[in-house]
Amino acid sequence: MEIVLSSSLNSSDMSLFDVIGSRRSVRSFTDEPVSDEELVKILDAARLAPSGGNQQRWKFVCVKNPRVLRMVKNCSPGFYGEATACIVAGIEGDAPAFSGTEYGSLVGVLDIGFAAENILLAAHALGLGGCAIASFNSSCVKKVVNAPENFRPTLIISLGHPDRQPPAPKKKSLSDVAYLDEWGNAWEKQESVPNE
Ligand SMILES: Cc1cc2nc3c(=O)[nH]c(=O)nc-3n(C[C@H](O)[C@H](O)[C@H](O)COP(=O)(O)O)c2cc1C
């Protein structure tokens, strides 16, 4: 049975595990633009992500105007490649219940992390690529996209058509990162996605 997530999210030929296993950070793009249909699917994937207390205090500024894109790049030393679009993802205002607390700002950062992974997986499932970018000057980006004072840009996600498949970065094995039942008790089962 096919599970329909939303009217604009189609099932792809790749299973979720194929998408997770073959996604790479892409930093090199062709000049083919990302279509509005693709951007809608990617933004839907972002807004459907989990958020702490379901507060959804996020805003996603989708930049596709080449002049604005260039200015965002100029604020972002960690932005590599000529992406044809990007999403500035951040949190608007304080969570009323946790206003000004460390927990309040932590939840916002986590929310954007969840949304960003959805964006990257959705882009990859569509045959696109992108990269999460944390290295940028926040006030510069805010000015470029004309965001209000209470908006905190947290990640930029570059997007475009990959011009090559990046090599697989080295990932730690399950036995390096997972324990069974208690700290230090080695997890000995093999990975289901082979390490390249
Ligand atoms: C929170 C976060 C911030 C990142 N910031 C940058 C960045 O500023 N510039 C960049 O090129 N890559 C950035 N990356 C991408 C990582 O370098 C990349 O995910 C890592 O090397 C693993 O490669 P993979 O995504 O292909 O698995 C960031 C990733 C995360 C999760």
68 within domain boundaries: yes
Per-residue pLDDT tens over the stretch 40-99: 999 999 999 999 999 999 999 999 999 999 999 999 999 999 999 999 999 998 766 666
Structure token digits, residue 7: 């009217």
Q: Tell me if 8 is assigned to some domain.
A: no
- With the most atoms of ligand 1 within 8 angstroms of its CB, the residue from 26, 111, 120, 131 to mutate is 131
Q: Which protein residues touch ligand 1 with a CB less than 6 Å away?
A: 24-25, 27, 78, 80, 131-135, 169
Tokens of 89: 């993802």
Predicted pLDDT of residue 5: 37
Distance in Å, CA 25 to ligand 1 centroid: 7
Tens of pLDDT, residues 2-36:
333 333 444 456 899 999 999 999 999 999 999 99
**Full residue range of the structural domain in which residue 39 is found:** 23-164
Q: 39 in a domain, yes or no?
A: yes
pLDDT band at 195 (very low <50, low <70, confident <90, very high): low
What's 192's DSSP letter?
Answer: S
For residue 18, how far is its CA from the centre of ligand 1 (angstroms)? 20
**How many structural domains compose the chain?**
1
pLDDT for res 10: 45
Choosing from 20, 24, 25, 79 the residue with most ligand 1 atoms within 8 A of its CB, the one to mutate for a pocket test is: 25
- Residue 36 belongs to some domain of the structure: yes
**Secondary structure string (H, E, C) spanning the chain:** CCCCCECCECCCCCCHHHHHHHCCECCCECCCCCCHHHHHHHHHHHHCCCCHHHCCCEEEEEECCHHHHHHHHHCCCCCCCCCCEEEEEEEECCCHHHCCCHHHHHHHHHHHHHHHHHHHHHHHHCCCEEEEECCCCHHHHHHHCCCCCCEEEEEEEEEECECCCCCCCCCCCHHHHCECCCCCCECCCCCCCCCC
Give domain status of residue 10, yes or no. no
Query: Does some domain include residue 46?
Result: yes
Secondary structure of 25-49 as H, E, C letters:
ECCCECCCCCCHHHHHHHHHHHHCC
At 32, which CATH number? Answer: 3.40.109.10
67 found inside a domain: yes
Task: Indicate which atom in ligand 1 lies nearest the CA of residue 120.
Answer: 25
Ligand 1: centre distance to CA 129 (Å):
13
Look at residue 183 and tell me if it is in a domain. no
Q: Which of 123, 141, 140 is nearest to 132 (CA)?
A: 123
